[in-house]
Amino acid sequence: MELNTLWFILIGVLFTGFFILEGFDYGVGILMPFLGKKDVERRQIINTIGPWWDGNEVWLLTAGGAMFAAFPNWYATLFSGFYLALFLMLVALIFRAVAFEYRSKDRSARWRNAWDWALFAGSAIPALLWGVAMANIVRGVPIDADMNYVGGFFNLLNPYALLGGLAGLGVFTLQGALLLCIRTTDEVRERAEALARKLWPVVLVVGAATVVASYFATDIFQRLGVNPGISAIGAGAAFLIGGWLISQRRFGWAFIMNSLTIALTVVTTFRGLYPRVMVSSLNPDWSLTVSNASSTPYTLRVMSIIALVLVPIVLLYQGWNFYIFRKRVSGNSKLTY
């Protein structure tokens, strides 16, 4: 396997980890103002992700860094073309991070309520925009022969991309609800379980509509051929099994199935893209690929050595972190946010 293909796969793995882990962070932030009726309940909800949320964001930084080093042309075209959308996402993430740290600096109900809604917006906007971004990448955006994005901001807000954004928002919100089902107690847990049962059919409808729209708006299905493979079929099967598990109140397994749905959806997306990394809607020959967007072989070799040494260490540390803070968070737990 060539190194540029290997790094394409690795970036896909990094985005998979990010969407699964940061997905439940976004979902918890979105649901917190609605499931937390009292301040102690809202603090309980935030503390379910308190030890993890900033560490989960490192997956995105690593994916961005890997993209910059392994595929600089992909990085340049993506970040210049999606600049305004990414800037909006960055502002939302800044408010989200500040909300985590500042909501408990004052006991005023108005102060805390303001930061709670900042946390909501800082979670909902990125969740929506990530779906929009991924939909645009597979649909295609205006890229010229010099690998420059020549469209505008509103080119990104096409109906298909917005539908993809709603699908991403729904899946991440469901991911957050399922995490709360297995991480909280008492009334918050009951509300989260009730919401998960109501939310799953909505996400199913939006997700199915996105799949149908993808058949007409992209070439993903044509490139996958008559046999879409285990990733595409598995994504749908995992989501349906997750719905059945929710109805049976087996929320831990439902969380695993929803995570598997996210993972297999990313795998299917990257399989449908390969060997492209960004599709040009102006001319298929102007699409960025793992060949014309990659760094030199020497750079890829050095990066591979560094990744082999450091990635296992990061995975072990994060796994240990999840194990240490695995217990449920109750209203009587030590609350810090």
**3-class secondary structure, 149:** strand
Q: Is residue 119 part of a domain?
A: yes
Q: Is residue 331 part of a domain?
A: no
**Beta-carbon contacts of residue 210 (< 8 Å; ≥ 6 apart):** 135, 163, 164, 166, 167
User: Average pLDDT, stretch 263-274?
Assistant: 92
> Domains in the chain: how many in total?
1
Q: Is residue 330 part of a domain?
A: no
Q: Is residue 240 part of a domain?
A: yes
More confident residue, 61 or 240: 240
User: Average pLDDT, stretch 7-11?
Assistant: 95
Residue 226, pLDDT above cutoff 70? no
Confidence band, pLDDT 50/70/90 cuts, at residue 228: low
Residue 336, pLDDT above cutoff 70? no
Instruction: Give the percent of the chain with pLDDT over 70.
Output: 97
C-alpha gyration radius of the chain: 20
User: Average pLDDT, stretch 4-31?
Assistant: 95
pLDDT number for residue 335? 61
Q: Is residue 336 part of a domain?
A: no
Residue 227, pLDDT above cutoff 70? no
Least confident piece of the model among 63-77, 143-157, 169-183, 212-226: 212-226
Domain range enclosing 208:
3-324
d(CA 138, CA 110) in angstroms, rounded, equals 43
Confidence band, pLDDT 50/70/90 cuts, at residue 313: confident
Predicted structure pTM score: 0.93
**Beta-carbon contacts of residue 170 (< 8 Å; ≥ 6 apart):** 199, 202, 203, 206, 207
Residue 131, pLDDT above cutoff 80? yes
d(CA 291, CA 71) in angstroms, rounded, equals 9
Residues 71-127: pLDDT tens digits? Answer: 999 999 999 999 999 999 999 999 999 999 899 888 898 999 999 999 999 999 999
Which of 126, 146, 159 shows the shortest CA–CA distance to 18?
126
CA–CA distance from 261 to each of 141, 268, 296 (Å)?
26, 10, 34
Size of the chain in residues: 337
Torsion of CA 133, 135, 141, 147, to 10 degrees: 60
Q: Is residue 335 part of a domain?
A: no
User: Average pLDDT, stretch 214-222?
Assistant: 88
User: Average pLDDT, stretch 34-54?
Assistant: 91
**Beta-carbon contacts of residue 245 (< 8 Å; ≥ 6 apart):** 251, 253, 254, 257
Q: Is residue 333 part of a domain?
A: no
Q: Is residue 316 part of a domain?
A: yes
Can the peptide bond before residue 297 be classed as cis, meaning omega within 30 degrees of 0? no
pLDDT number for residue 333? 64
